[in-house]
A and B are shown apart, each in its own frame.
Chain A
Amino acid sequence: MSSKNSNVTIYVFGKEYQVPQNLTILTAMEQLGYRLLRGCGCRSGFCGACATVYRIQGDFRLRTGLACQTPVKDGMVFSMLPFHPATKPQYNIKELQPNLQSLIRYYPEIMRCLQCNSCSRACPQDLPVIDVMAAAMRGDIAIAADLSFDCIMCGLCATRCPAEIVQYYVAILARRLYGTRLAPRSKHLQERLAEIKSGRYDEELAKLANMSTQELAKLYNAREIELEAA
Chain B
Amino acid sequence: MAQAQLKQWRTVITYSDEMRRSIEKVTATRPLRVKQSFPKLKPEEKKELLAKYHPDYKPGTARKLVVGANKGEMIVNELCNVVEAYSRMNPEKADLTEIRIHTDVLVIGGGGAGAAAALAARQEDASVVLCTKLRFGDSNTMMAQGGIQAADKANDSPATHYLDIMGGGGYTNIPSLVQALVLDAPSVIEWLEELGMMFDKETDGTFVTMHGGGTSRRRMHAARDYTGAEIMRTLRDEVLNRDIQVIEFSPAVELLTDVEGSCVGAVLLNMETNEFIVVQTKKTIIATGGCGRLHPQEFPTTNHYGATADGLALAYRVGCKLAFVDTIQYHPTGVAFPELISGQLITEKMRSLGAQLVNVDGERFVNELETRDAVASAIIKECKERKKGVETPGGLVGVWLDTPLIDILKGTGRTLRLAPAMVRQFKRFGIGIINDPVLVYPSQHYQNGGVLIDESGRTNVPNLYVAGEAAGGIHGRNRLMGNSLLDILVFGRRAGKDAAQKSRAASGGKPTLNHVARFHKELKKAGITPDRRSPVLLPDYRSEEAKIEVEAFAVKGWE
Pair A33/B550 contact, Cβ less than 8 Å: yes
Per-residue CB contact flags for chain A residues 40-71 toward chain B (1 = under 8 Å, else 0) read 11111111010000001000000100001111
B299 proximal to A (CB < 8 A) = no
Contacts of B272 in A (CB 8 A): 37-38
Per-residue CB contact flags for chain B residues 75-98 toward chain A (1 = under 8 Å, else 0) read 000000000000000000000000
A144–B179 alpha-carbon span in the complex (Å): 39
Q: Given A46-B421, A126-B4, A196-B186, are A201 and B305 neighbors across the interface (CB < 8 Å)? A: no
Pair A172/B237 contact, Cβ less than 8 Å: yes
Q: Given A179-B197, A185-B205, are A35 and B157 neighbors across the interface (CB < 8 Å)? A: no
Query: A188 touches which one: B3, B138, B154, B171 (CB < 8 A)?
Result: B154
The residue on B at minimum CB distance from A175 is B198
Pair B541/A30 contact, Cβ less than 8 Å: yes
A112–B168 alpha-carbon span in the complex (Å): 54
Query: B162 touches which one: A31, A36, A88, A205 (CB < 8 A)?
Result: A205
Pair A73/B158 contact, Cβ less than 8 Å: no
A35–B542 alpha-carbon span in the complex (Å): 7
Query: A47 touches which one: B202, B304, B549 (CB < 8 A)?
Result: B304
Pair B428/A45 contact, Cβ less than 8 Å: yes
The residue on A at minimum CB distance from B558 is A37
A42–B144 alpha-carbon span in the complex (Å): 11
A219–B409 alpha-carbon span in the complex (Å): 32
Give chain A interface residues in 85-107, CB to chain B under 8 Å: 88, 90-94
Nearest-Cβ distance from residue B37 to partner chain A, whole angstroms: 10
B407 proximal to A (CB < 8 A) = no
Q: Given A1-B393, A22-B339, A176-B234, are A205 and B179 neighbors across the interface (CB < 8 Å)? A: yes
Contacts of A34 in B (CB 8 A): 542
B425 proximal to A (CB < 8 A) = yes
Per-residue CB contact flags for chain B residues 168-183 toward chain A (1 = under 8 Å, else 0) read 0001000110110011
Q: Given A33-B549, A187-B205, are A46 and B229 neighbors across the interface (CB < 8 Å)? A: yes
Give chain A interface residues in 183-220, CB to chain B under 8 Å: 183-193, 196, 201, 204-205, 208-210, 213, 216-217, 219-220
The residue on A at minimum CB distance from B4 is A126
A228–B406 alpha-carbon span in the complex (Å): 13
Query: B420 touches which one: A150, A180, A209 (CB < 8 A)?
Result: A150
A46–B175 alpha-carbon span in the complex (Å): 34
Pair A44/B302 contact, Cβ less than 8 Å: yes
Q: Given A35-B559, A126-B4, are A184 and B249 neighbors across the interface (CB < 8 Å)? A: no
- Interface residues of B, count at CB 8 A: 106
Pair A126/B3 contact, Cβ less than 8 Å: yes
Contacts of A180 in B (CB 8 A): 193-196
B36 proximal to A (CB < 8 A) = no
B159 proximal to A (CB < 8 A) = yes
Q: Given A37-B272, A192-B186, are A93 and B241 neighbors across the interface (CB < 8 Å)? A: yes
Nearest-Cβ distance from residue B98 to partner chain A, whole angstroms: 25
Contacts of A189 in B (CB 8 A): 152, 186, 189-190, 193, 207
Pair B541/A217 contact, Cβ less than 8 Å: no
Per-residue CB contact flags for chain B residues 5-20 toward chain A (1 = under 8 Å, else 0) read 0110111011000000
Segment from B216-224, B444-452, B487-495, B526-534 that makes contact with A:
B216-224
Query: A226 touches which one: B4, B216, B345 (CB < 8 A)?
Result: B216
Query: B143 touches which one: A1, A35, A37, A42 (CB < 8 A)?
Result: A42
A132 proximal to B (CB < 8 A) = no
The DSSP consensus for interface residues of chain A is loop
Pair B305/A40 contact, Cβ less than 8 Å: yes
A227–B321 alpha-carbon span in the complex (Å): 41
The residue on B at minimum CB distance from A204 is B159
Q: Given A35-B538, A217-B171, A220-B166, are A44 and B198 neighbors across the interface (CB < 8 Å)? A: no
B160 proximal to A (CB < 8 A) = yes
B135 proximal to A (CB < 8 A) = yes
Pair B163/A208 contact, Cβ less than 8 Å: yes
A201–B185 alpha-carbon span in the complex (Å): 13
Nearest-Cβ distance from residue B131 to partner chain A, whole angstroms: 15
Pair B175/A196 contact, Cβ less than 8 Å: no
B142 proximal to A (CB < 8 A) = yes
Give chain B interface residues in 219-271, CB to chain A under 8 Å: 223-224, 226, 228-230, 233-234, 237-238, 240-243, 249, 271
Q: Given A90-B240, A179-B197, are A121 and B163 neighbors across the interface (CB < 8 Å)? A: no
Nearest-Cβ distance from residue B484 to partner chain A, whole angstroms: 15
Per-residue CB contact flags for chain A residues 162-183 toward chain B (1 = under 8 Å, else 0) read 0000000000100111111101
Nearest-Cβ distance from residue A126 to partner chain B, whole angstroms: 5
A223 proximal to B (CB < 8 A) = yes
Q: Given A22-B394, A46-B142, are A208 and B340 neighbors across the interface (CB < 8 Å)? A: no
A69–B393 alpha-carbon span in the complex (Å): 19
Query: B163 touches which one: A152, A219, A228 (CB < 8 A)?
Result: A219
Pair A209/B179 contact, Cβ less than 8 Å: yes
Contacts of A22 in B (CB 8 A): 339-340, 394
Pair B344/A93 contact, Cβ less than 8 Å: no
A68–B498 alpha-carbon span in the complex (Å): 39
A6 proximal to B (CB < 8 A) = no
Contacts of B217 in A (CB 8 A): 226
Q: Given A44-B345, A184-B204, A209-B175, are A179 and B195 neighbors across the interface (CB < 8 Å)? A: yes
Q: List 6 A-B contacts (CB under 8 A).
A: A49-B138, A126-B3, A149-B223, A180-B196, A193-B186, A208-B162
Interface residues of B (CB under 8 A from A): 1-4, 6-7, 9-11, 13-14, 43, 134-135, 137-138, 142-143, 151-155, 157-160, 162-164, 166-167, 171, 175-176, 178-179, 182-183, 186-187, 189-190, 193-199, 201-207, 211, 216-218, 223-224, 226, 228-230, 233-234, 237-238, 240-243, 249, 271-272, 302, 304-305, 339-341, 344-345, 354, 393-394, 409, 420-421, 424-425, 428-429, 538, 540-543, 546-547, 549-550, 559
